[in-house]
Chains A and B, each alone.
Chain A
Amino acid sequence: MRNFDDAWRYELVRLLELEQGPRDDAAVNRLAINTSRRLDEQRLARARLIAQELGLDLAVGRVKQALRTITAVVWLLGLVMGVSAGLAALGPPDRPLNVIWALLTLLLLPTASMFIWGVAMITGRSNGGWLGHGWEWLTTRFLGKGDQAMAWRAWLRTAHSQGSERWWVSAATHSLWLAILMGILLALVVSFSLRHYTFFWQTTWLPTEVFVSVAQTLSALPATLGFSVPDTETIATSGNRAIDQAEVRLAWANWLVGLVLIFGAMPRLVLLVLSAWSIRWCAQHSAEPADAYAQTLNARLLQARSVELIDAAPGAADQWSSQGALSADQTLSASAVVALETSIPQALVAQALAPTLPDIVDRESRKLVLTTLTKLKPSRLLVVCDANQTPDRGLLNTLAAIGALAQHTRVYLKPPHANQERFLQWQHKLALSLQVPPVLTAQQALDWLRGMDVESKAVSEGPR
């Protein structure tokens, strides 16, 4: 899958087709085939085309809009929460600010929740937790019914099948926290700009060195990133009472802002980017769907291109020009019997009135029969055929060839005539080539050989 949106549309069309039956649109399938050589891309293209055709893009757009709106609202709420948390942590400006206490208030909860998130991701238990479910629930309520609801279901399924479900939830979580932390930072920056704060730290039994080292360790990273931090002396002298000096105040304010930015907002930003990147990675590397729907589509797309006629329309191969027959004065004998690709039944052999010719089974016997018939020149020639064989063109050609060597030719179709359709084909083909109906019983065949006229059933309408 190339990108999330394509996969999403594919899933949406899949849900639609499962619900309303497959859309067997040959035109769309052909268009899809032409987009790419690869089957997976053809499937995506097909979904894109169908979504366009049915106006599903609108539903997709609405879901995106809803997601954006919810995100914006959550951001706004987060920002407000952050500002109020920041203001609460700073307290009124007339009281000196306990920097360690303020730092704990501002960073403890975000950091702890980040660790919980990390543990959940590592153990793989998380599929979103409360926040994720709340977010889903909210969106479901927001989107109601109809195409949008289906588009939203498709969105959820796509995220699930690509394994990016938890990354989406992560992105939501981190962006909320980022909003809160930005709110805090906003509160800090505005407060420090427009109000007069003094800073100190307090202890009852810890030595000063502890605070110096803690403050310096924490500010090591911000310092390397260019934030001005309080020096050792400033830290040491800020113990238990606030110093109202411009540089000291500036140093502490910078220290606080730097720490919230570096240890609060930055990790969230990095994780947000990581989540976004993971979502994209999942979309690009998700496994080919091998479910029944995908396999059925593959087959349909393959079949759509497999019809390939490679030669011209057939000509009139099934036409027999009348080869003619002997006239009465040319005949030399009364009658003859020959079997074509079968044998003469006992009933006929026993009462052999006519000379029986060898059975025609191959080219040699055919040649022999043709030469013999040229000598015999019978008035009546009975050809025995097996009604269960296919009346092919070769057989009919032979029939025409030997028929030309007698005055009258009739075909006796050996029973059983079990296959009715095959029997009709024989009648049809005989009417085309010999223009006479077949003889159906041994008695009729004998009667005909003896010179009687046989009333055969009229040829009924041939098949096809």
Chain B
Amino acid sequence: MNDLQQLAQLACMAPKPPIRIAVVGHTNTGKTSLLRTLTRNRGFGDVHDAPGTTRHVQGAPVLLDDEVVLVWYDTPGLEDSMGLRDAMDAVSVTERRLEGPDRVARFLDDPSDSTRFEQESRVLKQVQDSDAVLYVVDVREPVLGKHRDELFVLQLCAKPVVPILNFTARDDAKPGPWVEAFTRHAMHITLSFDTVSPPVNGEQMLYGILAKVLGAKHETFERLGQAVAQQRQYRLEAALVEIASLCVRLAAQQRFIPNLEQALVSAQHILQDHARTLEDAVTKQLLALYQFGPDDYLPKDLPWSNGQWKADLFSAEVLAQAGLHVGKGAAAGALAGAAVDVMTVGLTLGAGTLVGAALGSAWQGIDRWGRQWQARLRGEREMRIGDDVLVALATRHLQLLAALELRGHAAQAPISLIDASNPPFQVGAFLKALSAARAQPWRVAAAQEHSLREREHVTRSLVRCLAESPLLKGILTDQVK
């Protein structure tokens, strides 16, 4: 009795076998691309505009709470469906009254066609071992007899089939005939999913459809859909934090320079280089967060390591555009990273010092205050990074973020942000949020860890400001809350 109970317990605890979904289709329709986009893995499989690129069945597990609940299977393309159907028909002629799956099984057991239909056999075996099938089509191509034969053979396998319409975002897409053909094969639920620029919540839509098709597993698919939405949210938040902390760190940059032209120029270069390095790092971090790489953003012939931007952060055009909106933005172009006379800034810093002291952090406040006075006495000038630079920086990264949100992992052409339009956020609120970092640079400076709390505070207020951006609102409208 006890043993029986234990057994029953074990049975409950043992992980349920994952749901298996085979991705099939005619050759070169983008099956591997679909899986790249679904798994957010640019390195999955081999993508090439040629027939028979994928020669293996390859599994991609999907985790939920650290448990594999779903496995996608990428399969080689079906190439010779006409021949395959003939072979199937031959099976049914020799042995009559065989039902579809039995006929397929008989075909797979028969070694006579194993060389000719080697790839097709792999696909059919995987379909037999799967719970459902995603059938990928390239809607730029016409519906041909071979495609109908593929549908016929798939129907023999008696597994639920969800047609995926790929390349729907292209100009030459003709999805109409395809939808009609699917209807004629009693496949009434289709999903438009362009693998290069997928629908914003495409993965969720797919899970929704699979939940309907595989009713018994709908709970898992619903949880997967929720998890996907949540991950999107986390990703976006993390990205905004990265952008905001970059702005905060740069805003808090403050150097005291002897009032000599040579010293000012060289200090300016050093500060600019520092800003570029930080920007590079954050750009890479954003790309990595969205599981893209440096080659997804920059044209390949420009070496990334040199920090050579198509539009340098400190170039006159970039700043002129931002400068228009900042109003009396400091000298655009030539002396960006504007040097501000220490006397004017000294006043604000004085006030900041008092606030700092009141908050119980006078330790650093006094330290800094002393340095201010020292600088003033020595006739040094203070150098900061200009507001226009920060606005341009945030604009560019928000645009990159928006592009990343909409980009599929099958995309091969790099993102180019040619449209440096108006800042997609409230510039006033942005600068106001940054003013805390401006007024008390020592409280948010990167090197000092005991100011983590202050820095977090400023960063959070900046994140709130950036999250209001209409650019992101536009993307996230269909986001499930």
Contact = CB atoms under 8 A, between A and B. Distances in A.
A363 B84 CA distance: 11
Contact of B50 (A133, A397, A463): A463
A295 B284 CA distance: 14
Contacts of A127: 450, 453
A307 interface: yes
Contacts of A101: none
A305 B364 CA distance: 48
A295 B285 contact: no
Interface stretch (A231-239, A311-319, A331-339, A372-380): A311-319
B301 interface: no
Nearest to B72: A306
A390 B238 contact: no
Contact of A314 (B76, B235, B288): B76
Interface in A361-419: 361-366, 389-394, 397-398, 419
Interface string B233-246: 01101110110000
Given A130-B363, A133-B361, A317-B115, A390 B59 contact: no
Contacts of A141: none
A29 to B, nearest CB: 13
A295 B238 contact: yes
Contacts of B237: 290
B77 A392 contact: yes
A72 B66 CA distance: 44
Given A290-B238, A308-B58, A362 B145 contact: yes
Contacts of B254: none
A390 B51 contact: yes
B360 interface: yes
Interface in B140-197: 141, 144-146, 148-149
Interface in A295-314: 295-296, 299, 302-303, 305-311, 313-314
Contact of B83 (A37, A133, A305, A397): A397
Contact of A394 (B28, B60, B83): B83
B289 A295 contact: yes
A295 B235 contact: yes
Contacts of B66: 37-39
B183 to A, nearest CB: 18
Contacts of B41: 299, 303, 306
Given A157-B452, A341-B144, A422-B49, A363 B238 contact: no
B82 A366 contact: yes
Contacts of B122: 311
A293 interface: yes
Given A292-B238, A305-B61, A315-B115, A361 B145 contact: yes
Contacts of A302: 63
B79 interface: yes
A195 to B, nearest CB: 42
Contact of B52 (A303, A318, A389): A318
A62 interface: no
B44 interface: yes
A421 B238 contact: no
A278 to B, nearest CB: 18
Given A133-B363, A291-B241, A310 B288 contact: no
Nearest to B61: A306
Nearest to A126: B360
A341 B146 contact: yes
Given A290-B234, A362-B148, A160 B449 contact: yes
Contacts of B51: 390-393, 425
Interface string B454-481: 0000000000000000000000000000
Interface string B101-133: 000000000000001101100100100000000
A125 interface: yes
B238 A137 contact: no
Contacts of B50: 390, 421, 425, 463-464
Interface residues of A, number: 63
B86 interface: yes
B285 to A, nearest CB: 5
B61 A393 contact: no
A361 B59 CA distance: 34
A364 B41 CA distance: 42
Contacts of A305: 61
Interface centre among A293, A311, A366, A397 (most CB of B within 10 A): A311
A317 B77 CA distance: 12
A310 B146 CA distance: 27
A6 interface: no
A314 B360 contact: no
Contacts of A306: 39, 41, 44, 59-61
A2 interface: no
A305 B235 CA distance: 21
A291 B289 CA distance: 9
A160 B66 CA distance: 27
A14 to B, nearest CB: 11
Contacts of A129: 360
A70 interface: no
A292 B27 contact: no
A18 interface: yes
A74 interface: no
A417 to B, nearest CB: 15
Given A306-B61, A392-B26, A296 B82 contact: no
A66 interface: no
A303 B81 contact: no
Contacts of B27: 390, 392-393
B257 interface: no
B267 to A, nearest CB: 23
A421 B50 CA distance: 8
A326 interface: no
Contacts of B40: 299
Nearest to B449: A156
Contact of B450 (A156, A308, A311): A156
B281 interface: yes
Contacts of B82: 362-363, 366, 394, 397-398
A389 B76 CA distance: 18
A34 to B, nearest CB: 14
Nearest to A127: B453
B145 A303 contact: no
A153 B285 contact: no
Given A290-B234, A314-B118, A362-B149, A397 B56 contact: no
Contacts of A18: 281, 285
B291 interface: yes
Contacts of A398: 82
B145 A292 contact: no
Q: Which 8 A-B pairs have the closest CB atoms?
A: A362-B145, A394-B80, A393-B79, A314-B55, A156-B449, A308-B59, A392-B79, A292-B238
Interface of B: 26-28, 39-41, 43-44, 48-52, 55-61, 63, 66-67, 73, 76-77, 79-83, 85-86, 115-116, 118-119, 122, 125, 141, 144-146, 148-149, 231, 234-235, 237-239, 241-242, 281, 284-286, 288-289, 291, 360-361, 363-364, 449-450, 452-453
24 contacts: A18-B281, A125-B360, A160-B453, A292-B238, A292-B286, A296-B285, A299-B291, A303-B291, A306-B60, A311-B122, A314-B55, A314-B118, A363-B82, A363-B85, A363-B149, A366-B82, A366-B145, A389-B141, A390-B27, A390-B50, A393-B119, A394-B79, A397-B80, A421-B50
